[in-house]
Amino acid sequence: MMKNILKLLLILSGVMIFSCTKDELDVTALTDFPPGILSVSPADASKVVKGDFNVKVVFADGTVSPLSSATVKLFDAANTELASATKALTGTEDFIEIAGTTFNAASLEVGLYSITISVTDSKGQVTQRTTTFEISNLPFAANNDKMYIAGEFNDWGATELTLVADYTWEALNVELNGGQWKFKNCENWCDQDWGDPECDGIVQISTNGGPNSACSPTGFFNIRFNDQTLHYTFTPAVLYAANINGLYLLGSFNNFQGDQYKFNLVADNTWVLNEVELAAGDFFKFAEYPTFMGNNWGDNDGDGVAEAFGTNINFNEPEGGAYYKVTFNDKTLAYDLEFLRFPTIGIIGSATPGGWDTDTNMNDDNGDGVFEVTLDFVDGEAKFRANDSWTVNWGAADFPSGIATQNGPNIPVPAGRWKVTFNPATGEYNFVADAGITTVGIIGSATPGGWDSDFNMTDDGNGNWSAVIGLNNGEVKFRANDAWDINWGAGDFPSGIGTQNGPNIPATAGIYLVTFNSNTGAYSFTPTTIGIIGSATPGGWSDDTNMDPDVDPTTVKLTITLVDGEVKFRANDDWKFNWGSADFPAGVGVQNGPNIAVPAGTYTVVFNVNTGAYSFN
């Protein structure tokens, strides 16, 4: 980049010289800059294979102040000088190279080394830089010692890649499942990782909770990743026979165009789309390309065997709207839709929190098709249903367990806290008494306790929990009873629906009123004001004087003149969350604590919403 900028400036300066007279333009006033360093080899922060290598630095400058001289030195980790070269430079681009044979590069031990660079131009302008590199025992040059790929295909474990060429890592015959993934250079996520949310074949740094790669193919693939350019490829490990170039599902759900629903070739002539959501009234066709420019297939007879350029296929599977796996054979033209799961399974009824109006969604936490939820029920009735609709619903006459059938009777449910499980494939259900959730806390890298301790919330006895908390940038989750047995997460901020064992919630630094419903998983983070109120303040006990955010996002600060009297801190001009203490000028405020007695004076007041610590200075 620097080289291109320098050359552009040179060209522009030339144009200006030839298009202006001396009276119009002073040549010495042309754009000038210190000498530049175009490249350093070995590159900064790179790894060099143990053995012979040269040190080379390339310099550049403009025509107004061309290069004059430079010095390059090589040092080991103990700062012992190993090599040095000084050279008179000329023109706008020149270099210094120190041959590895002059400092016996092949004999250098594995470890860290540094290069110091100083370059001067004809005007005496100087540029200096120090770079570092590592000599390693890797078989090829690379920026990392190890490389792994992790994702949904291996339960976010660590499939190791092998260094097969300079900066090039490879893993062969890896079975991918179309899900999300990342590269990482540490088996246990202890250093750096990379994701490709745009799916453009180039990853970006995603350490500390950055985005995952949004897509991958399905089947067995050879994976290559270059840790210098950050390009990667997935190449089919096995090549299968096919009569077409590709296959896509085009339908009313994507306006009959687009590559969102692309099939993978998994066996000779056999194409599979792992998952697509289809609803009653949908129409679709198979197409060779993401548009209808090439071949396409419909089904004139509705018999499961397609015809070239046939009529649109009308979705009419007995399970109704749900997720399906689609298989197509480009030789026989037979196709099949395999039911996978309903988008949602919920429980509804007079015994549930939502009554007969609103489903409480259940979660398949273990991925085994068994849905569960733990709720506080009142005396009443309940049923299970799919997709928040009565089109597919299950009921039975038995409690606490039984086999629910389509359109069966309402299930009688006595009051209590019950853990409910339901298998829509078999109809089997069970209500088991639950000891209950005694606490709900917020935990994560954004919280004061990190991932080690919960910031506990208060509840109203009906599963509604709330807290005022100061957060840093990071991630959070909700969990019950200070343990991971019951926890909720989601990908949305500042509000969403948490699911059991869901992903970490990304959080932005600030002070928030956090609300969470342990029955539905609904949560919100609402920016919150913290004020000081009391007989000593300008507003008395009627009006809060709001405090200002401090550098630390968990604290607020205010300079205020007070009279003799008392004060407290509170959130959102409301007494639900307030802090007080008997100590002055510093102390730790507690919820609903006593008023703080304050003598008259002008004070800088600081208050931490997480710890309750305050000071009047």
Range name among 89-98, 136-145, 197-206, 448-457 with the lowest pLDDT average: 136-145
Interval 364-395: pLDDT, tens = 877 778 999 988 899 999 999 999 989 899 99
| pLDDT average, residue stretch 545-560 | 93
Domains of the chain: 2-136 (2.60.40.2550), 148-236 (2.60.40.3620), 248-341 (2.60.40), 345-433 (2.60.40.3620), 440-527 (2.60.40.3620), 530-616 (2.60.40.3620)
| pLDDT average, residue stretch 476-495 | 92
Residue 461 pLDDT > 80, yes or no? no
| pLDDT average, residue stretch 311-323 | 89
Whole-number pLDDT of residue 394 = 96
pTM: 0.46
Whole-number pLDDT of residue 7 = 42
Residue 551's CB: how many other CB atoms inside 10 A? 6
Q: Which residues touch 596 (CB under 8 Å, ≥6 apart)?
A: 534, 566, 567, 568, 580, 581, 582, 583, 584, 587, 589, 614
Q: Enter the tokens of residue 368.
A: 């085994």
Spatial separation of the C-alpha atoms in residues 6 and 427, rounded to whole Å: 72
8 A C-beta contact, residue 381 and residue 395: no
8 A C-beta contact, residue 173 and residue 83: no
Q: Enter the tokens of residue 98.
A: 């120190």
Q: Which residues touch 485 (CB under 8 Å, ≥6 apart)?
A: none
Q: Among residues 411, 417, 422, which one has the least CA distance to residue 386?
A: 422
At 85 the three-state DSSP class reads strand
Interval 421-444: pLDDT, tens = 999 989 999 998 876 788 999 999
DSSP state of 43: P
Residue predicted with more confidence, 580 or 12: 580
8 A C-beta contact, residue 420 and residue 374: yes
Whole-number pLDDT of residue 435 = 67
Q: Give the model's confidence band at 29: pLDDT under 50 very low, under 70 low, under 90 confident, else very high.
A: very low
The amino acid at residue 417 is R
Letter string b/e over residues 577-613, b meaning 16 or more CB atoms within 10 A of that residue's CB:
bbbbbeeeeebebeeebebbbbeeeebebbbbbbebb
Interval 39-63: pLDDT, tens = 999 989 888 888 999 999 999 998 8
Spatial separation of the C-alpha atoms in residues 432 and 414, rounded to whole Å: 12
Interval 253-281: pLDDT, tens = 999 999 889 998 988 999 999 999 998 88
Three-state secondary structure string covering 114-160: EEEEEEEECCCCEEEEEEEEEEECCCCCCCCCCCEEEEHHHCCCCEE
Whole-number pLDDT of residue 364 = 84
| pLDDT average, residue stretch 104-125 | 95
> What is the rounded end-to-end Cα distance, in angstroms, of the chain?
53
Residue 8 pLDDT > 60, yes or no? no
Residue 3 pLDDT > 80, yes or no? no
Q: How far is CA 589 from the centre of its chain?
A: 36
Range name among 122-131, 402-411, 432-441, 491-500 with the lowest pLDDT average: 432-441
Q: Give me the residue label for tokens 């900064």.
A: 44
| pLDDT average, residue stretch 456-460 | 91
At 613 the three-state DSSP class reads strand
The H or E element spanning position 6 is: helix 2-19
Counted residue by residue, the chain has a size of 617
8 A C-beta contact, residue 105 and residue 52: yes
Whole-number pLDDT of residue 19 = 32
The H or E element spanning position 513 is: strand 510-517
8 A C-beta contact, residue 559 and residue 602: yes
Highest mean pLDDT: which range of 60-64, 113-117, 195-199: 113-117
Which value, in Å, is the radius of gyration of the alpha carbons in the chain? 34
